[in-house]
């Protein structure tokens, strides 16, 4: 049902005066009370509408929340599985790298290897280099 009056309409209402009409001061005082009541009523309605709307939406929101919580649990399980697979892959990579590297003594660097190679070349080809 739509209201026919609001605070503004009541405020702007003019009454005709007659010979034996109502006392204008009493009418104004009464209308002031009616206006204030309407303002309060309008405020209460504005405050109540969101509550009514939220009560209607509440079951849908709860269903959405439940669905999102289930999705969250599923994604957490998937994340845990992916982390385990990643760790297994890292372990396999480490093992593969360990097996692929020749048994080089600890502390051997590229410089050490080059120096040893140079010494071997001098030893093997040293006499030939001196002859040329």
Q: What does the DSSP assignment read for 70-92?
A: HHHHHHHHHHHHHHHHHHHHHHH
What's the pLDDT at 66? 94
Residue 132 lies in a domain: no
CA–CA distance, 107 with 31 (Å, rounded to integer): 101
Inside any domain, residue 77: yes
Domain extent for 86: 7-126
Predicted local distance difference test score (pLDDT) of residue 122: 81
Would you say residue 131 lies in a domain? Answer: no
The chain-wide mean pLDDT, for the chain, equals 81
Q: For residue 102, is it within any domain?
A: yes
Within a domain: 78? yes
Helix (H) or strand (E) holding 20, with range, is: none
Q: What domain count does the chain have?
A: 1
What is the rounded distance in angstroms from the CA atom of residue 104 to the CA atom of residue 131? 35
H helix or E strand, kind and range, residue 123: helix 110-131
Distance of CA 13 to the CA centre of its chain: 53
Cα gap 117→109, rounded to integer Å: 12
Domain contains 70: yes
Segments in the chain below pLDDT 50: none
Cα atoms found within 13 Å of the Cα of residue 87, Cβ hemisphere only: 6
């Amino acid at each position: 049902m739509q209201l026919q009056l609001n605070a503004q309409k009541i405020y702007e209402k003019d009454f005709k005066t007659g010979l034996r009409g109502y006392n204008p001061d009493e009418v104004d005082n009464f209308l002031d009370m009616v206006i204030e009541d309407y303002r309060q009523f309008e405020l209460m309605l504005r405050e109540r509408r969101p509550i009514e709307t939220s009560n209607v939406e509440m079951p849908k929101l709860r269903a959405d929340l439940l669905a999102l919580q289930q999705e969250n649990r599923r994604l957490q399980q998937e994340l845990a599985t992916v982390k385990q697979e990643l760790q297994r892959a890292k372990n396999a990579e480490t093992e593969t790298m360990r097996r692929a590297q020749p048994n080089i003594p600890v502390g051997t660097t590229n410089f050490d290897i080059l120096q040893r190679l140079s010494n071997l070349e001098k030893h093997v080809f040293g006499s030939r280099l001196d002859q040329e």
